[in-house]
Amino acid sequence: MPEITYREAIKNAMVEEMRRDERVFLIGEDIGTYGGAFGVSAGMLEEFGPERIVETPISEDAIIGAAAGAAMVGMRPIAEMMFMDFILLALEPLVNQAAKARYMFGGKATVPMVVRMPGGSGTGAAAQHSQSLETILMHIPGIKVVAPSTPYDAKGLLVSSIRDANPICFVEHKLLYKTKGEVPDEEYSIPLGVADIKREGTDITVVASGIMVHKSLEAAETLAEEGISVEVVDPRTLRPLDVDTISKSVKKTGRLLVVHEAVKTAGWAGEVMASVSETPAWDYLDAPMRRLAGKDVPIPYNRELELAAVPQVEDIVEEIRAIVQYRY
């Protein structure tokens, strides 16, 4: 299979779906001539024109409102937030309209829309452009939350998201855009709600998403030299969460660490741990479940402080060592 970047995988998914289905269109700020803040939609205006690559004023509320309305009358919009942080400006149409319309109309209305949002730190974009807000979105019934970690997953999950009949929040970590991976030329999709075991192991399960999958895999390589076998599970979809795959992994390894960049307080690690505690895997734990998350601070601009605010490879290594060495 050819190797392409995460950015190219997302673009390819959008282009292929727009060619396949004339109802699909892209809407957002600077997505046309400029090609998007991170260059994802570069060249799409030339192929699809301004009627399907819809440039908007600087109003996230208008972008999501327009997308929700279009979805309700049969279109399949892809709305781009320039930064994930800006979805906070559009929570009313997303949460009170898009997420609830299908339920309130007894299933007679659907809202098939995707909201793409670059999130996370690592680019020096400071506190208002570096947040990880997945948990806020996971809390809302009616919204699905997707967070791919590889180009292969990004394309396959975006195809499924565009074809889904519900509002999807599609989280793209900014540091992943330049990463490369194998992606088939032929059409494919990945079902939502199905986790993927990125590395098999026997001593501990690490659940991580986005950029933290890569950091966890790097930590696993380091620990393998010490004889510690780490299984890395990528949920890929945070809502719905594949509790079955996670619990089976924990049942096998007897230990669990959840790693995410979002702040620790009320982060989605707590949801994973609570869900595992409600399964038979709870009886197989050989150590307390632990979570490693971002510190409860706004993301700093200073490079060293920015790195200190979120988990790094060495932090994951230390946490795993502590859990594996724990004895009741």
DSSP 123-181: SS--TTS----HHHHHTSTT-EEE---SHHHHHHHHHHHHHSSS-EEEEEEGGGTT-EE
Q: Are 116 and 13 in contact (CB under 8 A)?
A: no
Helices (H) and strands (E) in the chain, counts: 12, 14
Tens-binned pLDDT, residue by residue, of the chain (328 aa): 899 999 999 999 999 999 999 999 999 999 999 999 999 999 999 999 999 999 999 999 999 999 999 999 999 999 999 999 999 999 999 999 999 999 999 999 999 999 999 999 999 999 999 999 999 999 999 999 999 999 999 999 999 999 999 999 999 999 999 999 999 999 999 999 999 999 999 999 999 999 999 999 999 999 999 999 999 999 999 999 999 999 999 999 999 999 999 999 999 999 999 999 999 999 999 999 999 999 999 999 999 999 999 999 999 999 999 999 999 8
CA distance 193 to 301: 35
- Sketch out the chain's domains with CATH numbers: 3-182 (3.40.50.970), 196-325 (3.40.50.920)
Contact in structure between 249 and 216 (CB atoms under 8 Å): no
**What pLDDT shows up at residue 12?**
98
For residue 115, give the H/E element and its range.
strand 114-119
With H, G, I as helix, E, B as strand and everything else as coil, classify residue 69.
Answer: helix
Check residue 1 and give its pLDDT: 86
3-state secondary structure (DSSP) of residue 230: strand
Separation between Cα atoms, residue 67 and residue 98, nearest integer Å: 9
Strand partners, 234: 196
pLDDT attached to residue 97: 97
Strands 204-208 and 230-234: parallel
Please answer whether residues 278 and 247 qualify as being in contact, where contact means their C-beta atoms are separated by less than 8 angstroms.
no
Place of tokens 């895997």: 281
Pairing between β-strand 168-173 and β-strand 114-119 as defined by DSSP bridges: parallel
The residues with which 258 forms a beta bridge, in sequence order, are 207, 291
Distances (CA, A) of 137 to 117, 143, 145, 316: 12, 7, 7, 25
Exactly one of 129, 173, 214, 260 is catalytic; which is it? 129
Which CA distances in Å does 182 have to 150, 151, 179, 206, 292? Answer: 9, 7, 11, 23, 29
Tokens encoding 140: 């809302």
pLDDT number for residue 20: 98
Residue 260 bears catalytic tag: no
Q: Which of 150, 135, 94 is nearest to 239 (CA)?
A: 135
Tell me if 138 sits within 8 A of 145, measured CB to CB.
yes
CA distances, 223 to each of 25, 71, 246, 314 (Å): 45, 47, 21, 11
Tell me if residue 206 falls in helix, strand or coil: strand
